[in-house]
Amino acid sequence: MTTTAPLPTDAPVRARHFVLAVLALAMGGFAIGTTEFVTMGLLPQIAEGVDVSIPTAGHVISAYAVGVVIGAPVLAFLGARLPRRGLLIGLMVAYAVGNAASAVASSYGLLSLARVATGFPHGAYFGVASLVAASLAPPARKGRAVAMVMLGLSVANVVGVPAATWLGQHLGWRSAFWAVTGLALVTALLVLLFVPSCPGDGEATGRRELQAFREPQVWLTLLAGAVGFGGMFAVYSYIAPTVTEVGGLSEGTVPLFLLAFGLGMVVGTWLAGELADWSVFRSLLGSALGLAAVLLAFSAVAPYGWALLPIGFLITVLGSVLVVNLQLRLMDVAGDAQTIGAASNHASLNIANAAGAWLGGLVIAAGYGYRSTGIVGAALALAGFAVLVVAAALERRSRSHVVRTD
């Protein structure tokens, strides 16, 4: 299997302050990661604030994910030819507006609509920011530059999410969304100040970008992410009530569990790069299978409170290995359709977000309790593993056909 993904071949763009430029792009990942995951930590408060049950409030998480799924390919398709710095600034301003709308939403319906709108810029921002980071870097540092952008998302789960959760618990859940509004506006300013003007892809056409979706391996990779990664979200979406109602711990311990999840993401992102040098596809298979096992363990140890802490850490380590290597795999099989390929991975992962949160909410509402989310998550991870096995079999058959033809 190919272990390195082809990066964009755009002409290099000079940045006066390369590190500051990439950090500005990573700041967007930090803002996005904070608002995407803080909802899980504040779910009881949000449910009370808009007068719905916790399982119903979990659908707000799904609403955000639906926005990402729709927005990622649409905005990538429409924006492929636009100047990239201006596009990034516009996406972050739109993100700020969406979070401000979430903060002032007076009902469950309005909050859900605001979260759908907020999710729209998510995938397109990561896709375009990754392409810009690669274009700013010398050839030997392109991969690291892209990883730094993605690391903003992981760091958000170590710093941004626990801090925003604490803020939301003490000043009201709306304050967390106001904080992210500020982060998004700061990102837009930093991009304006430190990211040089970057042209869009002048040769991009809708037809060329859509060619990626003619490849079966693209669809299988997206399906593996949409199903397999949903296992993590089935558990993560309901971590706050699981910790307090099943584990018997206080509400004040929830930020510590979110911190453990965030540290797992940082470690998993680093580990994914190391494993990718060995084998992208074997890393995908191993992480999917390992994730299923750890999710089952989550269900078993949930009543033991603090025992969930290392389990939560391992869940996000394995989940992050899965995410990064899915991105590498998708960039490999998408060919020349770099913009829509880079963005579509985030659409796939947010289908996982929506499906995991929704299925977790269903089993809770059906009376099976918060522990049942671990079993649902394990089933999703195993389904993702099965899709990867099918992808491997088809690729092996395709290669043997090419050899026989030659």
Q: What is the residue-wise DSSP string for 68-127?
A: HHHHHHHHHHHHTTS-HHHHHHHHHHHHHHHHHHHHH--SHHHHHHHHHHHHHHHHHHHH
The one-digit pLDDT tens for each residue of the chain (406 residues) are 333 334 444 445 555 678 898 899 999 999 998 988 788 778 889 999 988 888 888 888 888 888 888 887 788 777 767 888 899 999 999 999 999 999 999 899 999 999 999 999 988 898 888 778 878 877 666 656 777 787 888 888 788 888 898 899 899 999 999 999 999 999 999 999 998 887 766 665 566 666 667 778 888 989 999 999 999 989 988 888 899 989 888 888 888 888 888 889 888 877 887 787 778 889 899 999 999 999 999 999 999 989 989 999 999 999 988 987 887 787 677 766 666 766 777 788 878 877 898 899 899 988 888 999 999 999 999 999 999 999 999 888 877 655 455 5
Q: State how far Cα 385 lies from the chain centre.
A: 19
The DSSP code for 178 is H
Please report the domains of the chain, with CATH numbers, ordered by start residue.
Answer: 18-405 (1.20.1250.20)
d(CA 130, CA 128) in angstroms, rounded, equals 5
The DSSP code for 196 is P
The CA radius of gyration of the chain, in Å to the nearest whole number, is: 20
Asked whether 337 and 208 are in contact (CB, 8 A), the reply is yes
d(CA 353, CA 61) in angstroms, rounded, equals 7
